[in-house]
Amino acid sequence: MTDKVIIRSAKNEDFQQWLLLWEGYNKFYGRSGPVELPVELTNMLWSRIFDAYEPVYALVAEINGKLVGLVHYVFHRVTNNIKPTCYLEDLFTDEAARGKGVGRALIQAVYEKAKLAGSPQVYWLTHETNATARKLYDGIAENSGFIVYRNKF
């Protein structure tokens, strides 16, 4: 068997494997345990991925028939361009598959989807302490230097 990384669109039958990755992503960012995401949110995200009227998309990375990574991306309007821009919202690679080029392959696949859609850019956020991911990101994208502010209600 080969450890070739295959990137493809998520399919309905991927739900159980996708869910394990999604839970891993949320655990990494502290959104599990006492502050766990409601199951309704997960179910809504999954349904949006397959809704033609929603601008939410999912790609998965597969090695030897097993899903080892996911990326969710969204197209949205911006005030400084006619074409919608692409926001890479969630990116996660299973710990056992890290270092095999999965994250890079998922990001490159989003780049291609954005180009096909005529989007002028792909952007994303990561936490400043996510040093491992930032090593990858610094090699394939520009750090814009922007600081994110938010107010939760």
Quote the DSSP letter at residue 125: -
Question: If pLDDT is split at 50, 70 and 90, which confidence band does 45 have?
Answer: very high
Whether residue 49 is contained in a domain is answered as yes
Whether residue 47 is contained in a domain is answered as yes
- Give the domain range for residue 87: 5-140
From the CB of residue 65, how many other CB atoms can be counted at a distance below 10 Å? 8
Residues in the chain: 153
What is the pTM (predicted TM-score) of this model? 0.92
The span from the CA of 126 to the CA of 90, in Å, is 9
pLDDT digits (tens, 9 = 90+) for 93-133: 999 999 899 999 999 999 999 999 999 999 999 989 989 99
The SS3 call for residue 46 is helix
Whether residue 91 contacts residue 104, with contact meaning beta carbons closer than 8 Å, is answered with no
* Residue labelled with tokens 């990116």: 91
Question: If pLDDT is split at 50, 70 and 90, which confidence band does 30 have?
Answer: confident
Whether residue 147 is contained in a domain is answered as no
